[in-house]
């Protein structure tokens, strides 16, 4: 784990300390890691929603054919065959 020093106004430090006490965080680092994880989750959700939106706007869906399923299965099996299995 790496260390990062940040500068905050007194009001922000007081807010963080109050949140730590109220929410039961053991340290300011734990509190900030939680905030960062939540921001990462929001960003990932936004990216997924954008992909869904692109898919919906790409045109009407087409039914999968038997050949599509065979090709998909073959591609998946080839991908699995290329992976290293770890205990």
**Alpha-carbon span 83 to 76, nearest angstrom:** 11
Q: Binning pLDDT at 50, 70 and 90, where does residue 1 land?
A: confident
Residue 41 lies in a domain: yes
Within-domain flag for 1: no
2 in any annotated domain:
no
Number of separate domains in the chain: 1
Q: What is the pLDDT of residues 18-53, one digit of tens each?
A: 999 999 999 999 999 999 999 999 999 999 999 999
60 lies in some domain? yes
E strands, the chain, are none
Tell me if residue 47 falls in helix, strand or coil: helix
Q: Which domain holds residue 64?
A: 10-81
Examine residue 4 and state whether it is found in any structural domain, yes or no: no
Phi, then psi, of 51 in degrees rounded to 5: -65, -40
How far lies 78's CA from each of 38, 84, 86, in Å?
36, 12, 17
Task: Read off the tokens for 69.
Answer: 């399923």
Distance CA 54, CA 37 (A): 26
Residue 69 covered by a domain: yes
């Amino acid at each position: 784990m790496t260390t990062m020093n940040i500068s905050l106004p007194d009001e922000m430090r007081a807010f963080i300390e109050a949140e730590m006490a109220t929410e039961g965080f053991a340290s300011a680092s734990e509190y900030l890691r939680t905030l960062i994880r939540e921001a990462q989750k929001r960003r990932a959700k936004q990216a997924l929603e954008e992909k869904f939106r692109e898919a919906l706007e790409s045109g009407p869906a087409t039914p999968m054919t038997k050949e599509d399923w065979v090709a998909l299965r073959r591609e998946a099996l080839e991908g699995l065959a290329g992976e290293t299995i770890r205990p």
